[in-house]
A and B are shown apart, each in its own frame.
Chain A
Amino acid sequence: MTTAEDTLEAVAARIRTHVVDMCAGPEGGHLGGALSCVEVLSALYFSVLRVDPRQPGHPDRDRFLLSKGHAALALYATLAERGFFPVGELAGYGRPGSRLMGHPVRAVPGVELPTGSLGHGLALSCGFALANRYAGRDSRSFVLLGDGELQEGSVWEAAIAAASLRLDRLVAVVDRNGLQLTGPAERIAPMEPLAERWRSFGWAVREVDGHDAIRLADHLAAAPWEPGRPSVLIARTVKGHGLSFLAGRTDSHYVTLSPRNHARALAALAATDAAR
């Protein structure tokens, strides 16, 4: 194990704990879909993105959008860990007076644009990438999509545009956790072969274990993979990853953890850490 791997794994573990803690708050949260993208966010914010928490609006920054805005818990935890705002603020999630809304809002340092309604992030990111190209900046634009989100037609409008505009500094990640609110995504709207689908839209495509932060970081750092083509990384993930009693289950979608289940979840995370 490398030091870098230790670090990314440790960061991911802390983010996962914050997510679990927030789901034990009064409102609960989108637990499963937040836990499935923890390694993606860790890799991005702790290895790949050119961002400076002290200057979140720096014009040359890389831009990230959480198109699957319901995973706000994971984004907030990542931004706090990365130093965009105090970790202590996470305890206020969803509570009156907090700025941590259930879907990302611009009031939170590090959030570029609000998301939550699915199918918006890819077009917005195309706009970022296009504007950067016009400005002559080499910044990259990253966007994280849910796999259920791919059922929104606007995703494919933007996929066509990105390829047509040859936006090769645009990188999409699909959190392919396989489950949506009521069941398996493949049963509700089959998308496989997903990689072929993206490839046929003119994108460079790679697939990866979405819980391997090192590999995620390697792929993301290397983009663009093909000159003139936008890149999409299909991250094979597990909804609710890290919590044995919820992982891979449809009912992990939105959870308010009771004190008992909160303790159980923290114990499960601790056991995973110990095993590592």
Chain B
Amino acid sequence: MSRAVREAYRDCLLSLLDRHPEVICLDTDTGLFRPEHVSAAGDQYLNLGIAEHNLMGIAAGMAACGRTPFVNTMAAFATSRALEAIKIDIAYNRLPVRIMATHGGLAAGHLGPTHQALEDLAVLRVLPGMTVVVPVDATATEAFVAQSLSLPGPLYVRLDRKPSPPLPPAPAPVIGRAQTLRPGGDVVLACCGPYPTLACLAAADTLAGHGIETAVLNLHTVRPLDTEALIDAARAAALVVTVEEHWCGGGLGGAVTEALAEAAPTKVLRLGMPDQFADAVGNQEYLLTYYDITAERIVTMVRTALDATARFGTH
């Protein structure tokens, strides 16, 4: 297992504080910062208590006075509970607040739908000026935190909760730029987040065994989407499949579908959480399998779609 991305964020931020006195970390008692981290951060860390709307408001007020707040909360509370403060106090004013949202997607696992965030990407990517990223691992998290210091406007970073299996080496992660993890021509698998990316890579291997050349594109920046890279990859492909830990509507699948429909119409299939709240109990990996966000499901989707295309002769 690699390092948990939320811990990578915390440690990276701590390493930046000395050189960036304008940065302040505001917390909502998430427990991500243990006493030793709080002590290391000194007065550049404040626990404001369990009040997410208040967190966003105070962060906006401080950002309006020249500070760069990194705010810690869980994705479920950031985007649903505090959405109006994000919209009006932060996005409307184009303020450089960095919303560091842990427990993204199904990462809360057995804690259930109250703590899962399967709508955050959809909800935030429609806000003007908002940047929305989903780092795939600790390396990407550190890169995005460092890059955020020179990013104008607000940023939402969706983080997992626990370590995920390591990924193969990839091009250096840059906010706004898709990462081609595997080239290919017949099919494009577009994904974001650790487990969807792992599933896509495994599915691409299996599909190669069936003679289907499959590209894997990590669209870690859901907004602004790297439409150029997406269209380049999709142009020669018969099919694009989006894979994400998110309800199927409005998230990465929505963003990809919109971009392709406007610029390079291609058949798109979306794989994500079915249209329901998670009633199954289990950890993140169990739930992903239970709800079929898996490599096997991707292989089936691709083969079924390509078979149909072959049978009817068009795509």
Residues of A within 8 A of B (CB): 106, 112-114, 116-117, 119-120, 122-132, 134-135, 153-154, 157-158, 160-161, 164-165
Contact = CB atoms under 8 A, between A and B. Distances in A.
Nearest to A125: B61
Interface residues of B, number: 26
Given A106-B93, A127-B57, A130-B46, 4 more contacts: A123-B61, A124-B58, A124-B89, A134-B67
B62 A127 contact: yes
A113 B89 contact: yes
Given A123-B53, A161-B51, A114 B65 contact: no
B88 A131 contact: no
Given A120-B85, A124-B60, A157 B65 contact: no
A157 B51 CA distance: 6
B58 A113 contact: no
Contacts of B24: 134
Contacts of A112: 64
A124 B53 CA distance: 10
25 contacts: A106-B93, A112-B64, A113-B89, A117-B88, A119-B53, A120-B85, A120-B89, A122-B57, A123-B53, A123-B54, A123-B60, A123-B85, A123-B89, A126-B54, A126-B58, A127-B57, A131-B61, A131-B65, A134-B24, A135-B66, A153-B53, A154-B85, A157-B51, A160-B49, A164-B48
A249 B234 CA distance: 64
Contacts of A164: 48-49
Interface in B48-91: 48-49, 51, 53-54, 56-67, 84-85, 88-89
Contacts of B48: 161, 164
A130 B62 contact: yes
Contacts of A123: 53-54, 56-58, 60-61, 85, 89
A118 to B, nearest CB: 10
A127 B60 contact: yes
Contacts of B56: 123
Interface centre among A106, A123, A126, A164 (most CB of B within 10 A): A123
A131 B66 contact: yes
Contacts of B46: 130, 165
Interface string B34-53: 00000000010010110101
B22 to A, nearest CB: 9
What are the 6 A-B residue pairs with the smallest beta carbon separation, nearest first?
A127-B61, A123-B57, A131-B65, A157-B54, A157-B51, A124-B61
Q: Is the interface of A mostly helix, strand, loop or mixed?
A: helix
B54 A158 contact: yes
Q: Is the interface of B mostly helix, strand, loop or mixed?
A: helix
A127 B88 contact: no
Contacts of B92: 114
A69 to B, nearest CB: 10
B61 A154 contact: no
Contact of B57 (A114, A131, A153, A154): A154
A107 to B, nearest CB: 12
A127 B65 contact: yes
A114 B67 contact: no
Given A120-B85, A123-B53, A130 B60 contact: no
Interface in B247-275: none
Nearest to A124: B61
A221 to B, nearest CB: 23
A127 B93 contact: no
B58 A127 contact: yes
A135 B84 contact: no
A88 to B, nearest CB: 28
A135 B62 CA distance: 11
Interface centre among A128, A129, A157 (most CB of B within 10 A): A157
A130 B62 CA distance: 7
Contact of A158 (B57, B64, B65, B88): B57
A154 B88 contact: no
B57 A124 contact: yes
Interface centre among B54, B84, B85, B89 (most CB of A within 10 A): B54
Nearest to B67: A131
A160 B51 contact: yes
B171 to A, nearest CB: 38
Contacts of B63: 127
Interface centre among B53, B56, B66 (most CB of A within 10 A): B53
A154 B62 contact: no
Nearest to B54: A157
A274 to B, nearest CB: 43
A119 B57 CA distance: 10
Contacts of A124: 57-58, 60-61, 64, 89
A119 B48 CA distance: 17
A102 B84 CA distance: 19
Nearest to A105: B92
B72 to A, nearest CB: 15
Contacts of B60: 113, 123-124, 127
A126 B48 CA distance: 11
A106 B92 CA distance: 10
B298 to A, nearest CB: 42
Contacts of A120: 57, 84-85, 88-89
B17 to A, nearest CB: 13
Contacts of B62: 127-128, 130-131, 134
